[in-house]
Amino acid sequence: MSDPRDYRAEFDRIEAEVDAGQTDLRALGFWRLLAKVKADPVLAHHWAEQAGRIDRKVFEARALLRVPVWLGNALLLVGTLAGAVAVAIALTTESRGLAGLALLFAALDWSATFHTPTHWLVGRMIGIRFVAYHLPKLVPPFPGLKIDYATYLRVAPEARAWMHASGAIASKIAPFLALAFWPASDAPGWAAWAIAGYGVLTIGTDVFISTRTSDWKRFRREMRIARIQAANR
């Protein structure tokens, strides 16, 4: 176990650089330092406040658009309800084509609107707070939800891992939830195949892309940290 004071100079240097306008945390060595800190739960708790402060300063300097968490959740809830309305239309319309399109819309809609609120819900359940919704530079089908990194570091890495995984899991379940309404509708077969194909495609993106760049990469990172912490006990 390292002495928490061992890292003071590095954290102070990085924060001073950020205050001076430098926002590339990777270039400043912030994430390398965090990897060392996260390997020890005592260090993670000790440095959570300053690490969170640094991370938030950079976020506020770089975020393209920020909205309060409550507003982001409300907007995504409206989107989710739009998917529910589409399902209701699919179950009641006499037009088979409209029913098929409505179910396909619900699959796409829920895949996008389930994702980030699930991160939020699971995060709040385990003690993580969030700063704001924002639009990343490369906008995916769902907005970003900025973590309060101080609270993140105080949570066990296994719990952090499942928070990251939760949104990915929810967005993969979503198309198949819409598909479950197909037998009760008069939608044509192409709608079922399209929804199923989309569902399989989203799973494929997780297998081949997300494990390297997104939620599942973060899941694997935090589970690796959990193993390191266990080995150091």
Strands of 144-147's sheet, edge to edge?
66-67, 130-134, 144-147
> What's the predicted TM-score (pTM) here?
0.89
Kind of pairing, strands 130-134 and 144-147? antiparallel
Average pLDDT, the chain: 92
Residue pLDDT, tens place only, 47-93: 999 999 999 999 999 887 889 999 999 999 999 999 999 999 999 99
Is the dihedral angle over the CA atoms 195, 201, 203, 205 positive or is it negative? negative
Residue pLDDT, tens place only, 18-34: 999 999 999 999 999 99
Q: Range with the lowest mean pLDDT among 15-29, 36-50, 180-194, 198-212?
A: 198-212
| Average pLDDT for 182-187 | 96
Confidence of residue 141 (pLDDT cuts 50, 70, 90): low
Q: Where are the beta strands (DSSP E) in the chain?
A: 66-67, 130-134, 144-147
- The residue ranges of every structural domain in the chain are 1-62, 64-232
